[in-house]
Amino acid sequence: MKILRFIPIAALLAFVSLISLQSCSKSDKPAGTTTDSSKTTTTTTPAPSTDATAPAALSDKAKKGQLLYYNTSLGKVKVACATCHSDGSAKTQGNQIRQGHTLAGVTSRTATWNGMYKGDNLKKFAYGASLCAAVFQKRADIKTVDKALSADEVDALNEYLAAINTAPGAMTSNLKIQWVGKPTFSDEAPDEKIAKPGITAIMKLPGDPAKGETVFGASCGTCHSISDKKIGPPMVKAAKDMNYVAQTIRFGSGQMAFYAKDVLSDQQAADAIAYIQSKLGK
Ligand code: HEC
Ligand code: HEC
């Protein structure tokens, strides 16, 4: 009997605290663009509440944003935001190594893309998503990045990003994107002087093809197969020059996004390359 009476009260308490947490984070949002990210980080981060209640709690606009987030047909390249960025949901948390960091927590960041987006431009370009949509999804070319997403789409994405701000794995402080050099965001090869140290760091390491198979599957495999075309071209041609493969990993190539060092280590890159080589009989 005692237990029976206890459960509804506990449930009620949990429910009430959930509601207050949600309304609290909602009213934080407009102010969240300023610098009080420390506050957001130190709140108790109720991870389970987000997973259990987020779908039901999404506003209509946030739902629109979520659809955009999972849409693989937003641009000419058939990848979605979710292909490259976790949103903290179980669907995007697994062994897959995504090129981008999680977007849970992004609305608390005060600068994104290593400082390319800050101030008013954060909300205006969905925290820098316009650049991804233009370059990686090929919705616009590099000269019209700002138009890659319509104002309505930006609005919807902003609302969804705000809704996942405290989702599991959230990163609320500014990222230091560990790129070897700023990517060119075009088909142009990076400056040789900048590219070379990044390539050498990978190529000087002995790679393990067995480990590389796992790395390839978890990262490259989303878009590439060794000998068939998937979202990206087969590895056969590019693999004639392994330095070029290493360069592509660190700087991207046109529509392919780069891998920062903390996303894919030099050793993991060397292992993936050793695997590609082993498959091509070299
Ligand atoms: C092909 C992969 C890819 C796709 C698709 C992609 N992104 Fe990105 N995005 C990246 C990479 C790589 C970065 C660099 C920063 C990082 O590591 O997160 C980035 C950076 C960002 C940032 C800045 C993060 C920060 O704090 O610096 C935002 C915001 C973002 N992307 C949103 C989106 C949204 C929204 C979409 C869908 C409309 C999207 N991206 C599609 C790969 C991608
Ligand atoms: C989210 C999708 C995606 C992922 C993941 C990805 N790539 Fe790519 N990759 C592409 C696309 C798309 C292209 C074509 C780019 C272009 O032509 O603009 C490409 C191009 C390349 C090229 C150049 C091919 C050529 O023939 O010029 C190489 C090499 C390459 N990728 C290697 C890799 C490796 C190695 C990994 C894993 C560490 C990887 N990619 C992960 C999408 C991806």
In the chain (282 residues long), the average pLDDT of successive 10-residue segments reads: 44 41 36 35 41 66 98 97 97 94 98 97 98 96 94 98 96 96 87 94 98 98 95 90 95 94 97 94 64
Taking the CA of 226 as reference, the closest ligand is 2
Per-residue pLDDT, 282 = 57
Q: Which residues, judged by CB distance below 6 Å to any ligand atom, belong to the binding site of ligand 1? A: 79, 81, 83-85, 99-101, 103, 106, 109, 112-113, 126-129, 132-133, 136-137, 157, 175, 177, 257-258, 260
Instruction: State the CB neighbour count (10 A cutoff) for residue 235.
Output: 23
Q: Tokens 């990206």 label which residue? A: 232
Pocket test for ligand 1, best of 76, 85, 152 (most atoms within 8 A of CB): 85
216 C-alpha to center of ligand 2: Å?
11
| Cα 229 versus chain centre, distance | 23
The CB-based long-range contact list for 41-45 (8 Å cut-off, 24+ gap) reads 41/108, 41/172, 41/173, 43/166, 45/166, 45/170
Please name the residue whose Cα sits nearest to atom 31 of ligand 1: 129
Range 26-163: architecture per CATH: Orthogonal Bundle (1.10)
| The domain made up of 192-279 is a member of CATH 3.30.460.80 | no
Pocket test for ligand 2, best of 138, 256, 265, 268 (most atoms within 8 A of CB): 256
Per-residue pLDDT, 9 = 44
Per-residue pLDDT, 187 = 82
pTM of structure: 0.84
Segments making up each domain of the chain, as ranges:
26-163, 192-279
193 C-alpha to center of ligand 2: Å?
22
Angle at 58 between CA 56 and CA 59, to 5 degrees: 125
Q: Do 192-279 and 26-163 have the same topology in CATH? A: yes
256 C-alpha to center of ligand 2: Å?
5
18 C-alpha to center of ligand 1: Å?
30
What 3-state DSSP class applies to 117? strand
Q: What single DSSP character describes residue 257?
A: P
